[in-house]
Amino acid sequence: MKNKKPLYIVLWFCLLMPMIIWAQQDSARYRFCPSAPVAKDHEGNLYRTVQIGSQCWMAENMRCTTSPSGHRWHRNPRFSASQPEYAPYYANATDLRHGNLYNWAAAMDMSNHQNSSKAVTGPVRGICPEGWRLPNNEDWDRLFSTLGGHKVAGEKMKEPSHMWDPYYSILRDQTGFDALPAGTYTESGNQAYGLQTYFWCADNFSRNEAWCCILYDYKNDGYSYLDYKCYGHSVRCVKEN
């Protein structure tokens, strides 16, 4: 009987080649972080990652519902800047990429008594997975710079989808950051869905305000922005060096 191994090899090659090509294209689109292609939080949720310049970012919003360090969280915010609170994302519960919206105390993983107007010094893990941290303004500025400056960075950070109004957002440059317009949670409930997205920073400003990064539907900019700590924003994490 003739050796059929070469035929098997050809068949396996024909079957695997499309998968290999797809994987290469997917990797090119998302540029997974070589050292951490997936991030895992304390609840076991998995998140895609993306390499942008020298930084490794999570490519999805945090969606944990409990504190990594065991602090008590309050669901459905009562808009206290001192109590850690989060709001489940209601607009599309089946799309987990939107994650949840957290006030600053929850994003920083603080207790009820830790939130103050004192300056934050050093890296802050916050609610991020082990080995990751809540980005500060310097991290966002470095990302903006890598993407050509803050006046064009926002366009390159948005996921090219119908969720961003195509009338305003011409999404040519896909970086894999995949920001979605999750909006914010205020005293009026979920606001600005489909129009804006906010990401908390680890930088404090005052007793009631902290820094965040904001992307608008109708602008290409990426902004550093001051907002009230009691509001619910998305959280993205950056890998520790």
The answer to whether residue 90 is domain-embedded is: yes
Q: Name the pTM for this structure.
A: 0.82
What is the tens place of the pLDDT at every residue in 116-174? Answer: 656 666 789 999 999 999 999 999 999 999 999 999 999 899 987 777 866 555 555 56
The answer to whether residue 190 is domain-embedded is: yes
- Average pLDDT estimate for 40-49: 96
The answer to whether residue 101 is domain-embedded is: yes
- Mean of the per-residue pLDDT values for the chain? 81
Burial of 13 (0-12, 13-18, 19+ CB in 10 A): exposed
Given pLDDT bands bounded at 50, 70 and 90, which one contains residue 50? very high
Q: Rounded to a whole number, what is the distance in angstroms from the first to the last CA of the chain?
A: 58
- Average pLDDT estimate for 194-200: 91
**Of residues 58 and 114, which shows the higher confidence score?**
58
pLDDT > 60? residue 210: yes
Kindly report the backbone phi and psi dihedral angles of residue 48, in degrees, each rounded to the nearest multiple of 5, phi listed first.
Answer: -65, 155
The pLDDT assigned to 20 comes to 37
The answer to whether residue 127 is domain-embedded is: yes
Q: How many domains does the chain have?
A: 1
pLDDT > 80? residue 28: no
Domain with 76 in it: 31-239
Angle between helices 150-157 and 137-146 (to 10 degrees): 90
The answer to whether residue 14 is domain-embedded is: no
The answer to whether residue 121 is domain-embedded is: yes
What is the tens place of the pLDDT at every residue in 138-150? Answer: 999 999 999 999 9
The pLDDT assigned to 11 comes to 42
Beta bridge partners of 56: 51
The pLDDT assigned to 10 comes to 40
Which residues, 6 or more positions from 138, have their beta carbon under 8 angstroms from its beta carbon? none
DSSP 28: H
Of 14-23, 69-78, 225-234, give the lowest mean pLDDT range.
14-23
Burial of 107 (0-12, 13-18, 19+ CB in 10 A): buried
Which residues, 6 or more positions from 67, have their beta carbon under 8 angstroms from its beta carbon? 73, 84, 106, 109, 127
Burial of 11 (0-12, 13-18, 19+ CB in 10 A): exposed
The answer to whether residue 12 is domain-embedded is: no
**Of residues 88 and 175, which shows the higher confidence score?**
175
The answer to whether residue 179 is domain-embedded is: yes
What is the tens place of the pLDDT at every residue in 76-119? Answer: 766 667 788 888 766 555 567 789 999 999 999 997 756 665 66
pLDDT > 80? residue 206: yes
**Residue 207 near residue 139, CB atoms below 8 Å:** no
Percent of the chain exceeding pLDDT 70 equals: 74
The pLDDT assigned to 190 comes to 81
The pLDDT assigned to 18 comes to 37
